[in-house]
Each structure stands twice: as structure tokens, then as C-alpha cells.
């Protein structure tokens, strides 16, 4: 089982993409999930539905709309051109933005569930102990939602690694820039180079499994030590 | 309003808690109270469940927003028409019904959480005292899930005190514990009462807890104040809403007069008579609190000397409950000096003895428990 | 969570069924047709007309399944019950024949593709060919030369024009010619090699925005078809192959921007 240089470049690119997307999503989704978990606004349902849309839209459809929206005539494209960034398809930044949308529900929902499971009580307790809103969030909500964060990170990372349709639509298969592992595997299959496809797929499978296994066992251990028998 | 408030403040010579609060949760529940809560000692808020006790406490803590509401604590406005001091800026301590310790922090770090955010200068000596008073020093390094229910609640109480509150709010702190654990903690609370100057508002639906702890009682029902005053007055009401299993009974304040070492008895005197009770080494001259249950009080028309019952007190029938015509038994309130007793008698006995308000009787008291 | 032994095999069966459904084009399951044709996506439009005409003239019905040649090939290798395979290249029908999955002697080139250089957002006063030669563009879209015939042809063109190196950083690759078309149509690539068939009829396209790439600049884009082994005895399938080779079929293909190999219809520029 040998890997070519382009295979290695694709692996590195996939890891870089998934890592970047996961970190950005955890930061972006924290306030969003908090708002969704706590608001009584009538907008909650709408926002929830919009966030969940990528779950039901076929990735290639999402990718197609992104291609159009990010293009020179699209509204995102006009904004990025105006900002001097040019257009985003066929760039790593474009992939990151597309992946953010695509993987967002996988990060928002575990966080939202963790915040909901927390309930109001720990926050009320913290408030009666003189902790202000930000203080409460950092010292109480974050540590108590650790399990939710692990799940969100794992799902966000794994989902971005596995993403294919969107990348295919807006990536342009540029080595080192947009040709991620899933696209590389697809290219091998299309070129009837099944052996190469199998090698790369096997590596990704084992790698993803190990990451998931590692994170989930860390999660179950921390959960076990914190809340063993309740 | 402001004028009458400041008058009240001046009248009392100290700064109590003024609370005029309304909460409206539709027809299901309403709170509508106008209260003055003493600025020292323990104020017991008593009433059946759903009477608004917890809501009152939550409004004072700012966890619930009464509308309209006005809340002045020790001269500072916590809430009025235009202003609501956020919970985390109110100098309160709050003990919840369940311990609500932070599960991710050890006992020590739970206490540190409060200590770091305490108002004013932290007093290490006092904190040390509280830790030893509540006997939590042995498990400071443990995590909440490693503690028993009673231990958790003691930590929660210590933590609430660590923030140096100006008012300590306790919401049924013993309700989640079984009777044995309750008996474990009650002495700590009594000790707290004796050594801790901060006013405490103590919510409970347990007569026993309120009887043992409270200096002042507020009786709530359906979101409104039914009565308030000294425990002796509140607990001598014949219509007190009681939990199943809770015995009606009164609280009598008395002074230790004499000790009979051989019989392990002490004689205590109160305004209206004297009683013998078990000696628990209270010093002579100290003030004690006795709880006398209605079922332990029987009546005779003449003084009977040939009875096993030690305590006989001359009293006058004050009131006979009329709200229990379907039952064989009824309650009779007696007055002896300034103190009250309640006797539980069959309605037949009431009839045979021709009891009526103003009639002189002898109350035979089978047992009087020292509660403090 | 664990399944009882009996329900486990039920689950396995269901999984196999699901896989089959996913791998097979759904139209196959919808109705049993006389002829089942697997067709490379770029040939979809002419095939639709061919199928209609054929069904009118004969007693047979035709069911068309579309996909990339690579996917259809993989499905055929794994037992998909197609009668005919119309590939976008020559390589895959040949491979099927070598594996004994196609009837030998039935393989033939049914259509020749033509390559266009196209720009949807070209500045006025220049031609697309000039843009390509001068390098005045941001992105050049082409199908992936590794496996897409139009991509291989586009690669030939760049090589023959000596532009391979200087366009390397500007090239974006579509997984197939349809996606390449989208890249140009959405304006994300200002220049791209697409199939003539995709822009046919050309009347509505500005002359300056396309360049018909001379066939001499690239290897011929031959699309081959083959009769699959399991339909060796199907008269219907053989009849359809004959129809595809007819004069009438050639006219239909020409109207869609393809050339039939036996008819030199479209002139080279």
C-alpha cells in the first residue's frame, strides 16, 4: 500500500481543512447554540431550521448554490470582491466557508443539547454566588458542557473530513489547495485506479476511526470520573 | 410609599427588609405580598406547597422578576418600578432545596468559588469557623458526588455563607433529606442561628423546622400573607395548614429555674406557669424553647393530683375549632398567662365537659420537648 | 445494543437491499424495460431523442440510466443488469470487453465529441482564443484530464499550444464536463474547455466568446458503446445499436453537437 505525493498532500489538506473548520465552528457556534438553548424569541424555530438545513439538502445542491452565490454575480461573490478578496470558489478559504455551513448543525446541536441538559439551576446558583453572566458562562457552563464540546468537535471534524459533495462543486480539485482526500479518492475511482482508491480510503477509515475512538473514550472516561453513579 | 417605608425603618431602629411583590402566572399561581422582614434572626416562611414560599424567596434573590415589585433591603433599593438589581449584584446567600453544588468542582473549590467572589474583605477566621461549625473540613478534597445528601447540603450552606451575604435565603434546605439526615443538620442550623449575625429567611413547610429555628414566622397561603408574628402566636392557630404527619402544637418560650439531678429533670417557668421537662444540661437561667404537641395535652375541670402526669397548668379556653364537624376530634386553644396551648380532644369530650371560650380548665401536659 | 441472531440476518438483508437501491439507478427498478441502457451523462440529451425515435419505430421500450462513465463502469463490473453501455470514452468499454463482461466484436465509436473554449464573462473587443494565448484570465476550467475525455483533449490542446506550464496555477478541474460547464456558466472561471454539445445550438452564443478548437490540436474524443455480455442474445439491444448507426441517428447527434464517425458532417475550422 503506497501513497503518492498527491495523496499525502490531500491528506494534509483534509486535516488542515477539518481542523480549521472545527476550531472556527466551536467559537462561532457557542453563542449561537447558547442563544438557541436559552432564548424565548419567536425566531428560535426559524434559526433552528436554517441551521439544520444542510442536514437535508443534498451536498451537491448546497455546493451548487454556493458556487453560484460565491461567483462574481452572486451576492457573496460581490461582497468578497468589494472587500478585495476576489471570489472564493477554488480557494481554501472558500472551502472553509462552505464547510462551516455544511458542518454547522453537527456542532450547534450537541452544544445546544449540552446547554439544555445543564438546566437553569447551576446558573442560578452561580448568580447567587456573585458570578456575572460572562463569569457564569466561563466557570460553570463551559466545564459542565465539556461532553457536548467533545461531541461537537468530533462530529464537526469527522463530518468535514468526510465532506465530498460541496467540495466537489466549489473546489476545482487544485492540488494542495482544494483537492481533499474525498475528492482524491473519487478521482482514483473515476480513473479506474481502484487500488489507489482502496489504499487511501482504508487509511482515512482507520484514521477517522482512531480519532473517534480516542475522543469518545476520553469523553466517556471524563464523564465516568465526574458523574459515576447517579 | 417612600415616606411610610422610611417611617417603618425609623420605628424599628434597624434596617429590615421591605418587600412589596406581585407575580402573576395567570390563574395557576399568583403572589401578592407586602412584608416587612426583620433585619436579624431567622424569619421562617411557612405554608403549604404552592403557597408561594419559594417564589417569594426567588423574587428577593432576583431570580424571578416580580411585576410590579418594590424591594428595599437594609436601606438599599434592590428593585422598584424602573430598576432591577441583577442577582449577581445582590449581597445574598442562597441555599437551594437540593444542594446544587458544582459537580465539576471539589468541595474546596466550590467554597473557593464563593470566597473569590465574596463582597467585602474575606475573613479567613470566620470562614474557618463556618467550615468547622458545619463540620465539612474532613471532606474538602472530595467531589460532590462522593458526598451523602446531608454532607452536600452542609457544603451548600457553608458556600452560601462564604460570600458574606447581608441576607441568607434558605429554600427548604432540608426537604430533600430523609428524617435522619434532617436531624443531623438541624443542630448545625441552630448553631448557625446562635453564632451568625446575618438575617436568615428560612422557607419550609415543616412545622418542626420552623418551630425549632424561627424567631419570626410569616404564614403564606395561595400567594398571600395569612398571618405573621412570633412563632408562639402563629403555631397556636387552630387553622394552621399542616403537612400529613405534622402534628399541631405550640412553641413556648421559657426560662430554666431549677434542676433535679437525680431525676434528670429541669423545671422551667413561663408567663402562665411552670413545666418539668427532660434535662439536657441547659444552664440555669437560660432561655429555652419548648414544643408542646396538641396530642400531648388533655383537660380536666378540677386539679387531679393522683395522675402520672407531672405537668398541670391552669388555663382558660380561648377558642374551639369548628371546621372539623366530620371528624371525631377537634382542637381547642387554651391561654395560660401570655402563652397558648393547643389540646386535641374528641368532640364528645368537648361536649361532656361543656367547654366554651372563657371556661377555666386544667391542662395536663404529658410531654414537653425542648427544641432549643 | 445487539441484535438477535435471526434479526441480524434480516438487518444484513436489508442493508444489501439498500446498497442495491443506491448503486442501481432507480429507473431500473421502476419498470422492467426491454432495453436498459447505461449512458454517460454528457450524451444525455441526444440519447433522450434517440430513445424516443427508436421507441416510436419499434416495439421496444428503452430505459436510460445516466451517470459518469466511471460510476456506470463500476456498477456493471458489480453486476448491474444493463444491456448496453454508452461510455464517454473508449477505455471503459474496452476494459469491460477484456473482463468478459461485454460481447466482443460489438464495441464501436458511436459519437465524436468536439471541444469548445468558452467564456461567459469575456471583456468586449477580444476573442477567447486571444485571452487563452495572452494569459489574460484568472481561472481556466477543464474536466479532469486523468479520467474525463474532454479533459484529456483540453490537456492536449494546452500542450500543443505550449501553455501547459503557464496555465498550471490557473487551472481548475471539473470532475466531469458538466461540472466544468457550471464553473464557467456561474462566472467562477472566466475561461473553460467545454463540449460543443453543451452550447448547441450555437446561435444564441456570441461568436467572440467561443472558439471551436481544431481537432488537430487534440486526440479525437471518441465515445464508444458496447453490448454487455448478459444481453448477448437480446434482439432488442442489437436492433437499437443498428439504429444508433443509422443516418437518422447521425442527424440527431449532429443537432446536439456530436459527429457520427461514419458521417463527416461537421466541418473543421
Is B240 part of any domain? Answer: no
pLDDT at B181 over 60: yes
Q: Retrieve residue B221's grid coordinates.
A: 397561603
Sequence-separated contacts (24+) of A215-220 with Cβ below 8 Å: A215/A150, A215/A153, A215/A154, A216/A150, A216/A154, A218/A150, A219/A147, A219/A150, A219/A151
Regions in chain C scoring below 70 on pLDDT? 1-33, 262-269
Model pTM score: 0.78
Touching C (3+ Cβ pairs <8 A), the chains are A
Classify domain A5-223 at the CATH topology level. MetI-like fold (1.10.3720)
State the pLDDT at residue B27: 66
User: Using one digit for the tens of pLDDT, what is the confidence trace for A62-111?
Assistant: 888 999 999 888 999 999 989 988 889 999 999 999 999 999 999 999 99
Residue of B nearest to A222 (CA): B104
Pairing between β-strand B297-300 and β-strand B360-365 as defined by DSSP bridges:
antiparallel
Using one digit for the tens of pLDDT, what is the confidence trace for B300-324? 998 888 888 888 899 999 999 887 7
Residues 6+ apart with CB under 8 A from C117: C128, C129, C132, C191, C192, C193, C210, C211, C213
Chain A residues lying within 8 Å of C175, measured CB to CB = 168, 173, 183, 186-187, 190
Distance from CA of A38 to the nearest CA of C (A): 33
Interface of A with B (CB under 8 A): 121-122, 124-133, 135-136, 139-140, 143-144, 146, 226-230
pLDDT in tens, B321-341: 887 778 888 999 999 988 899
Test the A interface: residue of B54, B60, B102 with most A CBs within 10 Å = B102
Chain B residues whose beta carbon lies within 8 Å of the beta carbon of residue A130: 88-89, 114, 117-119, 163
Decide: B265 and B279 in contact? Cβ < 8 Å: yes
- How far apart CA C266 and CA C49 sit, in angstroms, is 20
Quote the pLDDT of residue C216: 93
A187 touches chain C (CB under 8 A): yes
B15 band by pLDDT with thresholds 50, 70 and 90: low
Same domain, B70 and B157: yes
- Do C65 and C39 touch, CB atoms closer than 8 A? yes
Give the residue on A whose Cα is nearest the Cα of B156: A125
Q: Please count the residue pairs, one from chain A and one from chain B, whose beta carbons lie less than 8 angstroms apart.
A: 70
The domain that holds B258 is classified in CATH as: 2.40.50.100
Between chains, do A72 and C121 touch, taking CB under 8 Å as contact? yes
Structure confidence at residue B48 (pLDDT): 84
Task: Spell out which residues of chain A touch residue B143, defining contact as CB-CB under 8 Å.
Answer: 226
Same structural domain, B254 and B224: no
The shortest C-alpha distance from B110 to chain A (Å) reads: 10
pLDDT of B6 higher than 50? no
The shortest CB-CB distance from A87 to any of C91, C144, C188 is to C188
Chain A residues with CB inside 8 Å of B163's CB?
128-130
* Best residue of A68, A71, A78, A91 to probe chain C, by most C CBs closer than 10 Å: A71
CB C259 within 8 A of CB C112: yes
Q: What is the pLDDT of residue A1?
A: 59
Residues B224 and B264 in one domain: no
B68 upstream amide cis, omega within 30 of 0: yes
Question: What residue ranges define each of the domains in chain C, with the CATH number in brackets?
Answer: 31-111+223-255 (3.40.190.10), 115-212 (3.40.190.10)
Indicate contact of C with B: 3+ CB pairs under 8 A: no
Q: In the listed set B201, B229, B257, which residue is the last one of a domain according to the structure?
A: B229
Among A112-121, A148-157, C4-13, which stretch is predicted with the lowest mean pLDDT? C4-13
Give the residue from chain A lying closest to B169, CA to CA. Answer: A128
Domain match, B138 and B204 both: yes
Cβ–Cβ below 8 Å for C188 and A64: no
> Which residues in chain A have their CB less than 8 angstroms from residue B173's CB?
none
Q: Are residues B133 and B195 in the same domain?
A: yes
Record: contact B87-A228, CB cut-off 8 A: no
Per-residue pLDDT at B57? 94
Find cell 494569459 and name the residue: C135
82-111 of A, contacting C, C-beta below 8 A? 86-87, 89-90
At which residue does the C-alpha cell 393530683 appear?
B305
Q: Taking CA atoms, what residue in C is nearest to A70?
A: C188
Cα B292 from chain centroid (whole Å) = 16
> Do B330 and B282 form a contact (C-beta atoms < 8 A)?
no
Residue B243, domain member (yes or no): no
* Closest residue to A190, CB basis, from C68, C172, C186: C68
Q: Which of C92, C146, C171 sits opposite A187 (nearest CB)?
A: C146
Q: Which chains touch A (3 or more CB pairs under 8 A)?
A: B, C
Q: Do B63 and A124 touch (CB under 8 A)?
A: yes
Cβ distance C198 to C138 under 8 Å? no
On whether residue B122 sits in a domain, the answer given is yes
**Structure confidence at residue C265 (pLDDT):** 42
* Distance in angstroms (rounded) separating the CA atoms of residues B60 and B17: 9
Residues B256 and B182 in one domain: no
> Per residue in A180-229, pLDDT tens?
999 999 889 888 888 999 999 999 889 888 878 887 787 666 554 444 33
Q: For chain B, report the end-to-end CA distance as a whole number of angstroms.
A: 39
pLDDT of residue B243: 67
Strand ranges across the sheet with B329-336? B297-300, B360-365, B311-320, B329-336, B339-346
Q: How many CB atoms lie within 10 A of CB C166?
A: 10
Q: Could A73 and C187 be called an inter-chain contact, meaning their C-beta atoms sit closer than 8 Å?
A: yes
Res A138 pLDDT > 80: yes
Question: Which pLDDT belongs to residue B159?
Answer: 93
> Does residue C176 come out as left (phi exceeding 0), alpha (psi in the -120 to 50 range) or beta?
beta
Do B254 and B193 have their domain in common? no
Residues of B in contact with A134 (CB under 8 A): none
Chain B residues whose beta carbon lies within 8 Å of the beta carbon of residue A123: none
Between CA C226 and CA C106 the distance in angstroms is 6
Instruction: Give which of B75, B61, B80 is closest to B20, Cα–Cα.
Output: B80
Hey, what's the cell of A114? Answer: 449540552
Nearest CA in chain B to A131: B88
CA distance C189 to C183: 5
The pLDDT assigned to B140 comes to: 92
Tell which of B171, B200, B229 closes a domain: B229
Q: What is the reported pLDDT for A174?
A: 87
**Per the structure block, which three cell numbers stand in for A56?**
437535508
Q: How many structural domains are present in chain B?
A: 2
Cell triple for residue B184?
Answer: 443531623
pLDDT (0 to 100) of residue B280:
82
The answer to whether C98 contacts chain A (CB < 8 Å) is: no
Place B56 in a pLDDT band, splitting at 50, 70 and 90. very high
- The answer to whether C42 and C195 are in contact (CB under 8 A) is yes
pLDDT at B344 over 50: yes
Peptide bond just before B108 cis, omega within 30 deg: no
Neighbours of chain B (3+ CB pairs under 8 A): A
Is C73 in contact with A67 (Cβ distance < 8 A)? no
Q: Which of B165, B197, B229 is the last residue of a domain?
A: B229
Minimal Cα–Cα distance from A1 to chain B, Å?
Answer: 46
Q: Are B265 and B202 members of one domain?
A: no
Kindly report, residue by residue over B58-113, the tens digit of the pLDDT: 999 999 888 888 999 988 999 998 899 999 999 999 999 887 899 999 999 999 99
Return the higher-pLDDT residue of B130 and A135.
Answer: A135
Q: How far is A226 from chain B (nearest CA, A)?
A: 7
| In a domain? residue B105 | yes
Instruction: Tell whether B122 and B170 lie within a shared domain.
Output: yes
Q: Tell if the CB–CB gap between B94 and A228 is shorter than 8 Å.
A: no
Q: Which class for A78: exposed (0-12), middle (13-18), buried (19 or more C-beta within 10 A)?
A: middle
Annotated domain spans of chain A? 5-223
- Which CATH number covers residue B75? 3.40.50.300
Indicate whether B198 and B273 sit together in one domain: no
- Is there contact between C and A if contact means ≥3 C-beta pairs under 8 Å? yes
Confirm if B290 and B251 have CB atoms less than 8 A apart: yes
Whether B203 and B295 share a structural domain: no
**Does residue A133 have a pLDDT over 70?**
yes
pLDDT of residue C79: 87
Q: Say yes or no for a CB contact (<8 Å) between C74 and A189.
A: yes
Nearest to C95 among A71, A90, A192 (CB): A192
Per-residue model confidence (pLDDT) at position B242: 73
C267 vs A179: which has the higher pLDDT: A179
Quick: pLDDT tens for C174-223. 988 889 999 999 999 999 999 999 988 887 788 888 999 999 999 999 99
Does residue B44 lie in a domain region?
Answer: yes
Residue B32 sits in the same domain as residue B170: yes
Please check whether residue B32 lies inside any domain of the structure. Answer: yes
Yes or no, beta carbons of B163 and A131 under 8 Å apart:
no
- Residue B273 domain boundaries: 249-370
Residue in A closest to C172 by C-alpha = A172
Asked if A64 has any chain C CB less than 8 Å from its own CB, the reply is yes
The beta-carbon neighbor of C173 closest among A87, A173, A191 is A173
- What pLDDT shows up at residue B25? 76
d(CA B222, CA B244): 18
Could A228 and B102 be called an inter-chain contact, meaning their C-beta atoms sit closer than 8 Å?
Answer: no
Measured CA to CA, the distance from residue B4 to residue B6 in angstroms comes to 6
* Predicted local distance difference test score (pLDDT) of residue B371: 75
Q: Is C24 on the interface with A (CB under 8 A)?
A: no
Amino acid at each position: 500500500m503506497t501513497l503518492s505525493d498527491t495523496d499525502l498532500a490531500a491528506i494534509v489538506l483534509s486535516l488542515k481543512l477539518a481542523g480549521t473548520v472545527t476550531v472556527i465552528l466551536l467559537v462561532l457556534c457557542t453563542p449561537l447554540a447558547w442563544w438557541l438553548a436559552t432564548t424565548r424569541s419567536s425566531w428560535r424555530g426559524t434559526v433552528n431550521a436554517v441551521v439544520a438545513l444542510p442536514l437535508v439538502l443534498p451536498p451537491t445542491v448546497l455546493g451548487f448554490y454556493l458556487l453560484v452565490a460565491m461567483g462574481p454575480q452572486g451576492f457573496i461573490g460581490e461582497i468578497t470582491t468589494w472587500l478585495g478578496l476576489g471570489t472564493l470558489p477554488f480557494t481554501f478559504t472558500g472551502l472553509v466557508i462552505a464547510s462551516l455551513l455544511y458542518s454547522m448543525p453537527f456542532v450547534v446541536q450537541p452544544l445546544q443539547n449540552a446547554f439544555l441538559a445543564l438546566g437553569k439551576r447551576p446558573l442560578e446558583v452561580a448568580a447567587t454566588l456573585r458570578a456575572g453572566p460572562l463569569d457564569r458562562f466561563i466557570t460553570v457552563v463551559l466545564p459542565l458542557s465539556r461532553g457536548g464540546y467533545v461531541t461537537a468537535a468530533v462530529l464537526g471534524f469527522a463530518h468535514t473530513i468526510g465532506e465530498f459533495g460541496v467540495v466537489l462543486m466549489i473546489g476545482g480539485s487544485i492540488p494542495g489547495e482544494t483537492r481533499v482526500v474525498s475528492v482524491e479518492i473519487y478521482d482514483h475511482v473515476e480513473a479506474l485506479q481502484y487500488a489507489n482508491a482502496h489504499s487511501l480510503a482504508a487509511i482515512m477509515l482507520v484514521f477517522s476511526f482512531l480519532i473517534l475512538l480516542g475522543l469518545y473514550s476520553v469523553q466517556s472516561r471524563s464523564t465516568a470520573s465526574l458523574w459515576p453513579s447517579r | 410609599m417612600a415616606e411610610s417605608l422610611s417611617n417603618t425603618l425609623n420605628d424599628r431602629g434597624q434596617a429590615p427588609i421591605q418587600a412589596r411583590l406581585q407575580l402573576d402566572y395567570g390563574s395557576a399561581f399568583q403572589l401578592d405580598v407586602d412584608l416587612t422582614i426583620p433585619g436579624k434572626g431567622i424569619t421562617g416562611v411557612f405554608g403549604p406547597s404552592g403557597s408561594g414560599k419559594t417564589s417569594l424567596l426567588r423574587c428577593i434573590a432576583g431570580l424571578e422578576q416580580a411585576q410590579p415589585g418594590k424591594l428595599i433591603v437594609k436601606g438599599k433599593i434592590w428593585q422598584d418600578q424602573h430598576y432591577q438589581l441583577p442577582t449577581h449584584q445582590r449581597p445574598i446567600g442562597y441555599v437551594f432545596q437540593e444542594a446544587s453544588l458544582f459537580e465539576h468542582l471539589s468541595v474546596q473549590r466550590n467554597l473557593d468559588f464563593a470566597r473569590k467572589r465574596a463582597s467585602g474583605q474575606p475573613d479567613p477566621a470566620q470562614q474557618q469557623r463556618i467550615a468547622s461549625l458545619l463540620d465539612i473540613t474532613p471532606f474538602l478534597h472530595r467531589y460532590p458526588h462522593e458526598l451523602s445528601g446531608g454532607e452536600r447540603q452542609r457544603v451548600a450552606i457553608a458556600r452560601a455563607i462564604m460570600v458574606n451575604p447581608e441576607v441568607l435565603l434558605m429554600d427548604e434546605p432540608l426537604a430533600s433529606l430523609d428524617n435522619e439526615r434532617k436531624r443531623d443538620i438541624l443542630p448545625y442550623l441552630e448553631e448557625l442561628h446562635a453564632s451568625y449575625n446575618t438575617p436568615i429567611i428560612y422557607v419550609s413547610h415543616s412545622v418542626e423546622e420552623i418551630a425549632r429555628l424561627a424567631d419570626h414566622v410569616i404564614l403564606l397561603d395561595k400567594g398571600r400573607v395569612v398571618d405573621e408574628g412570633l412563632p408562639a402566636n402563629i403555631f397556636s392557630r387552630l387553622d394552621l395548614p399542616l403537612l400529613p404527619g405534622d402534628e399541631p402544637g405550640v412553641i413556648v418560650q421559657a426560662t430554666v429555674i431549677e434542676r433535679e439531678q437525680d431525676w434528670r429533670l429541669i423545671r422551667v417557668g413561663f408567663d402562665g406557669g411552670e413545666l418539668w421537662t427532660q434535662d439536657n444540661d441547659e444552664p440555669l437561667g437560660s432561655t429555652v424553647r419548648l414544643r408542646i404537641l396538641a396530642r400531648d395535652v388533655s383537660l380536666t375541670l378540677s386539679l387531679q393530683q393522683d395522675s402520672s402526669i407531672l405537668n398541670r397548668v391552669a388555663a382558660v379556653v380561648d377558642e374551639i375549632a369548628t371546621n372539623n364537624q366530620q371528624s371525631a376530634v377537634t382542637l381547642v386553644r387554651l391561654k395560660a398567662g401570655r402563652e397558648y396551648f393547643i389540646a386535641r380532644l374528641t368532640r364528645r369530650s368537648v361536649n361532656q365537659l361543656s367547654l366554651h371560650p372563657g371556661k377555666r380548665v386544667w391542662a395536663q401536659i404529658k410531654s414537653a420537648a425542648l427544641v432549643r | 445494543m445487539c441484535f438477535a441472531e435471526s434479526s441480524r440476518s434480516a438487518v444484513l438483508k436489508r442493508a444489501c437491499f439498500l446498497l442495491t437501491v443506491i448503486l442501481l439507478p432507480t429507473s431500473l427498478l421502476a419498470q422492467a424495460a426491454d432495453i436498459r441502457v447505461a449512458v454517460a451523462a454528457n450524451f444525455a440529451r441526444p440519447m433522450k431523442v434517440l430513445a424516443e425515435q427508436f421507441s416510436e419505430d419499434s416495439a421496444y421500450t428503452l430505459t436510460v440510466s445516466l451517470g459518469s462513465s466511471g460510476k456506470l463502469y463500476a456498477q456493471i463490473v458489480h453486476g448491474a443488469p444493463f444491456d448496453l453501455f454508452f461510455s464517454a470514452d473508449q477505455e471503459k468499454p474496452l476494459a469491460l470487453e477484456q473482463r468478459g463482461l461485454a460481447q466482443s466484436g460489438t464495441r464501436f465509436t458511436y459519437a465524436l465529441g468536439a471541444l469548445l473554449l468558452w467564456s461567459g464573462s469575456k471583456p468586449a473587443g477580444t476573442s477567447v482564443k486571444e485571452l487563452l494565448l495572452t494569459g489574460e484570465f484568472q481561472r481556466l476550467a477543464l474536466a479532469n484530464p486523468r479520467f474525463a475525455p474532454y479533459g484529456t483533449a483540453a490537456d492536449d490542446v494546452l500542450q500543443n499550444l505550449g501553455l501547459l506550464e503557464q496555465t498550471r496555477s490557473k487551472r481548475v478541474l471539473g470532475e466531469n464536463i458538466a461540472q466544468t460547464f457550471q464553473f464557467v456558466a456561474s462566472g467562477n472561471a472566466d475561461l473553460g474547455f467545454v463540449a460543443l454539445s453543451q452550447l448547441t445550438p450555437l446561435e444564441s452564443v456570441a461568436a467572440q466568446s467561443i472558439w471551436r478548437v481544431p481537432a488537430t490540436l487534440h486526440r479525437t474524443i471518441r465515445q464508444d458503446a458496447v453490448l454487455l455480455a448478459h444481453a448477448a442474445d437480446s434482439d432488442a439491444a442489437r436492433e437499437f445499436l443498428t439504429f444508433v448507426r443509422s443516418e437518422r441517428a447521425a442527424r440527431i447527434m449532429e443537432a446536439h453537437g456530436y459527429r457520427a464517425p461514419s458521417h463527416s458532417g461537421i466541418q473543421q475550422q
